[in-house]
Structure 1
């Protein structure tokens, strides 16, 4: 094959890949409330946005995964003062380390809970 044929083939493959990604994006639900979605018995899946419940506060994020540190930051808390745990459907609460990545569309997360390390905090 010549260089021109190789370039044409690569361009065709890239166009195909882009078309597949665009289809995937169109198929994503606009917003999934993780707690409601899991409690209703639905399996986790990708969405454009997720509504997370952290303690009593609900926040919307536009990413598929976040670290424990990032989740705490959503409610203005830090890992040096708070422990983060996630309620996993059917398995209770599990601790989330600051650098652990929680994947919203596959970890069966219902909600998050924080606990102050110092009992006099919040």
Structure 2
């Protein structure tokens, strides 16, 4: 716990209640096993939360996953969030939903990690991943399958062919592809 700060104006009166600002560094509290203070009307608690490598101070005792992602200046629709928790001497990552409420008063929360959302897809039996949701047919053929797009065709498992190399594919909707070689085969 950081040193308390006293908050009042220079014109404060002796009968006025003094408010104490207490900053709880979640990481420090977790690593040292320090319990959180109990509610006290004269104390205003701020939480210092670590998101990736940056610490952020908030007066909120709980936030949605999307709000924590936004603290890291990331788009909640394109990023995932995990909390680093410590329990029984073990540290582990726990995923947090974008609309899940995280209570900073809960014991064991050490920090938060924001990572880009990964999109998984396969071409035949080989798996790939991309942190970009929308790829063109050309990008899939050249950057992932490493084939000549003029000699190969990409198709869905259902048989729909992608003939336009600049067509954009949403990897959240289609993620299984088949590759066809367009080279003519010799006739015997």
User: TM-score when scaled to structure 1?
Assistant: 0.69
State the alpha-carbon separation in 2 of the partners of residues 38 and 114 from structure 1.
Answer: 19
Show the counterpart of 2:65: 68
Distance between the aligned counterparts of 1:115 and 1:79, measured in 2?
Answer: 10
Question: How far apart are the structure 1 equivalents of 2:50 and 2:28?
Answer: 10
Q: Distance in 2 between matches of 1:98 and 1:115?
A: 13
Structure with greater proportional strand content: 2
User: Secondary structure of the residue that 2:33 maps to in structure 1?
Assistant: coil
**Pairwise CA RMSD:** 2.4
What is aligned with 1:109? 109
* Structure with the greater alpha carbon radius of gyration: 2
Alignment correspondent of 2:29: 37
The answer as to whether partners of 1:68 and 1:102 remain within 8 angstroms in 2 is: yes
Please name the residue that 1:11 is paired with: none
Classify 1:111/1:45 alpha carbon distance in 2 versus 1 (closer, same or farther; 3 Å). Answer: farther
Unaligned runs of 5+ in 1: 1-22
User: Comparing both chains, which one has the higher relative contact order based on Cα–Cα distances under 8 Å and sequence gaps of 6 or more?
Assistant: 1
Corresponding residue pairs, total: 97
Gaps of 5+ in 2: 1-16, 39-43, 119-129, 133-188
Question: Does the 8 A contact of 2:49 with 2:56 survive in 1?
Answer: yes
Give the structure 2 partner of residue 55 of structure 1. 52
